[in-house]
Amino acid sequence: MADDNGGGAGALKSLIPKDVKVIGKVAMTKRKYKCNYVPLVKLASLLTKLREGEGILVVIETDRFSIESVAALAKAYSAKMDVLSSQEGLVTLLLRK
């Protein structure tokens, strides 16, 4: 799995469906990126590679990035979006096919 250091995927393994193989992770947090476009470009790149039965973990810091922008990208690439966790401005999503 391509790792982007952030979000702690270990605790979320039990929330990920067993039939989904996680192929990447994108941490959309302000401590990671100076520019909002970098993680969106990385996410779009991973979505182009996403196949049936695969998923991408996305960790969003909601005061800097919008869930709506990720939802729009997921929809554009025919991916489903599941919220795995949400706490204090940090949301973890699973985008999958």
Question: Which amino acid is residue 8, in one-letter code?
Answer: G
Residue pair 63/28 in contact by the 8 Å Cβ criterion:
no
| Beta-strand runs (E) in the chain | 21-28, 54-61, 80-87, 90-96
* CA proximity to 25, closest of 54, 52, 64: 54
According to the model, what pLDDT value does residue 4 have? Answer: 40
List, in order of start, the domains of the chain with CATH numbers: 19-96 (3.40.50.150)
User: What are the pLDDT tens digits along the chain (97 aa)?
Assistant: 444 444 444 556 777 888 889 899 998 887 665 665 678 888 999 999 999 999 999 999 988 888 998 999 899 999 999 999 998 889 999 999 9
Burial (CB < 10 A; 0-12, 13-18, 19+), residue 22, is middle
